[in-house]
């Protein structure tokens, strides 16, 4: 999970990333509905739990992956004031979404959906324009052409964003970037986890080509604040927040919140970002990111 706060950062949803700013943004991988192909207007079960986490942690945006909902829709989440945008193509497979809190949802001016693995929201806040993106990379075992298509689609989305606009990409990118930079200085901050693998190298090369930096490698943390996926004896870092290198100075913090697991395996990743908006006097924003429902399936969330 990744979250973004009103220091303009991101937090996550189940399998999510969160962003905090003058408001907060988070990202999670996880659905908000009782059935994978149905979005209900009443918040119950896991969906209310997600909103509760966002409220308690002051998360403005939540990026979700592996939601497994079908359709391309936007839904008001009952009386909470929060709003969900999502996309999904095949029942019980893939799917991504972004939940925005009641303060920031009115600033959304555009939505872009690409298949069932990428969704992007554009917001205008004062003199700033920023883009919150939720992405879900294909798993290691899938055929190479699925991976190539995902990275090509994501590159297309990013290249269409003007250079003057900020980017906060929270995603389950299914790769290990390693604990040290190893030739990717400027992209990797030197405080990652584990050993780099082929998929992780792809993340680093992609970020380097597009002048992006991996926010959760720039802050020295204990392992528990780096691990985004934990199952049995397996601990890894596969969820990331990517931001423009030029915007790194606005990133105040990026870490996992160990006590806020919205799924059995993936944990909430949050990023705190500072956004300028003198008119509204906002300062920090938080985003979050979180992934999926885990092995029990979406029904167990409700």
The pLDDT tens digits for 99-117 are: 999 999 999 999 999 999 9
Whether residue 67 lies inside any domain: the answer is: yes
Whether residue 207 lies inside any domain: the answer is: yes
Distance between CA atoms of 275 and 252, rounded to whole angstroms? 11
Residues above pLDDT 90, as percent of the chain: 61
Mean pLDDT of the 235-239 span: 96
Domains contained in the chain, number: 1
| DSSP bridge pairs for 98 | 63, 85
Whether residue 214 lies inside any domain: the answer is: yes
Whether residue 56 lies inside any domain: the answer is: yes
* Tens of pLDDT, residues 273-294: 988 764 554 557 788 877 654 4
- pLDDT band at residue 299 under the 50/70/90 scheme: very low
Whether residue 188 lies inside any domain: the answer is: yes
Angle between helices 198-209 and 144-159 (to 10 degrees): 20
All residues at 6 or more sequence positions from 88 whose CB lies less than 8 Å from its CB, including other chains = 67, 68, 69, 70, 71, 72, 94, 95, 96, 116
- pLDDT at residue 260 is higher than 50: yes
Whether residue 133 lies inside any domain: the answer is: yes
Whether residue 282 lies inside any domain: the answer is: yes
Average per-residue pLDDT for the chain: 82
Whether residue 266 lies inside any domain: the answer is: yes
Question: Could you tell me the CATH number of the domain that includes residue 15?
Answer: 3.60.10.10
Q: State which H helix or E strand residue 282 sits in.
A: strand 282-291
- pLDDT at residue 267 is higher than 50: yes
- pLDDT at residue 301 is higher than 60: no
Closest CA to 62 of 88, 94, 99, 15: 99
């Amino acid at each position: 999970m990744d979250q973004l706060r009103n220091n303009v950062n991101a937090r996550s949803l189940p399998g999510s990333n969160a962003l905090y700013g003058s408001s907060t943004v988070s990202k999670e991988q996880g659905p908000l509905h009782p059935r994978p192909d149905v979005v209900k207007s009443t918040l119950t079960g896991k969906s209310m739990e997600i909103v509760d986490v966002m409220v308690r942690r002051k998360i403005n945006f939540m990026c979700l992956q592996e939601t497994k909902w079908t359709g391309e829709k936007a839904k008001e989440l009952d009386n909470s004031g929060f709003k969900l945008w999502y996309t999904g193509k095949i029942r019980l497979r893939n799917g991504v979404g972004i939940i925005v809190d009641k303060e920031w949802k009115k600033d959304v001016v555009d939505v872009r959906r690409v298949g069932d693995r990428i969704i992007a929201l554009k917001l205008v806040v004062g003199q700033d324009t920023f883009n919150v993106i939720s992405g879900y990379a294909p798993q290691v075992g899938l055929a190479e052409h699925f991976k190539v298509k995902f990275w090509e689609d994501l590159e297309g989305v990013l290249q269409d964003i003007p250079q003057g606009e900020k980017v906060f990409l929270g995603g389950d990118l299914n790769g290990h970037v390693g604990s040290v930079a190893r030739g990717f200085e400027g992209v990797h901050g030197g405080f990652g986890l584990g050993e780099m693998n082929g998929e992780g190298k792809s993340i680093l090369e992609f970020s380097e080509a597009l002048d992006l930096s991996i926010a959760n490698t720039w802050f020295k943390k204990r392992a528990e604040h780096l691990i985004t996926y934990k199952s049995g004896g397996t601990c890894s870092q596969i969820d990331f927040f990517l931001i423009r290198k030029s915007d790194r100075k606005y990133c105040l913090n990026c870490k996992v919140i160990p006590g806020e697991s919205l799924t059995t395996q993936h944990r909430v990743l949050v990023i705190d970002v500072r956004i300028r908006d003198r008119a509204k006097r906002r300062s920090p924003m938080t985003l979050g990111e979180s992934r999926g429902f885990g092995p029990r399936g979406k029904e167990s969330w409700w």
